[in-house]
Amino acid sequence: MTDLPAVRLPPDNAGQLHARRILPDGTRQVCVSWVETEKGWTGGLVERGPEWLAEDQVEYLPGQRYPAYEQFADGTADAGAQDAPLPPAWPPQVRPPGAPDWQASAVAWLLEALPPDFRAHPVLRDFPLALAWMATRHTEFATDAARAGYRSAAIDLKPHLSAEAIERVHDTYRAEGRRLVELARAIDAVTRELMRDPGAIPSHR
């Protein structure tokens, strides 16, 4: 979980605020991510964003603090408030690169991409790049396995399941395939930023 402030988007989707900016023409935008239910997929929750939207498309929630994004009453913003756009495919669970504790949020998110038993190995927390590399390999293997399962499902299951049941199995593989592709892109984005951050590569002693 991150400490990003919450916002509400129509139709009442819960979201998180990553950044705000004012364009040269005075247009106010916010970078947000949110979770919504995918139509046609029972119980399927899909993460959207981060995406820049017009500020009037979000509702700031009472009791939430937005300390990093305060703007002056005359419509201008201080230099710190005009955060740079997030890298493409950046996962909403990870704080923006350079933000306080962003590496800690990246480590927590990358561990979620691996089986739970990986949490028992301290080296993955000590060296975020090693963790990112391992998450990349694991996602690649999972993608290959999903593709192989999709190809063989009809042959292996035909003697045991109806055509409708097999098609539902194929639908499951399709959904999982899309998730894995998006996950791989997000892991790649985080890996690139970790490689740019000297703090992610401890010096040898």
Distance CA 180, CA 188 (A): 12
| Banded pLDDT at 24 (limits 50, 70, 90) | low
Task: Evaluate whether 130 touches 138 at the Cβ level (below 8 Å).
Answer: no
Q: Is the dihedral of CA 29, 34, 36, 38 positive or negative?
A: positive
Alpha carbon separation from 141 to 129, 170, 173, 185 (Å, rounded):
19, 18, 14, 15
Choose between 172 and 32: higher pLDDT.
Answer: 172
pTM, two decimals, is 0.59
Q: Residue 72 above 80 pLDDT? A: no
Choose between 190 and 69: higher pLDDT.
Answer: 190
The mean of the pLDDT values for the chain is 79
Q: Residue 45 above 50 pLDDT? A: yes
Report the SS3 class of residue 43.
Answer: coil
Task: Evaluate whether 18 touches 102 at the Cβ level (below 8 Å).
Answer: no
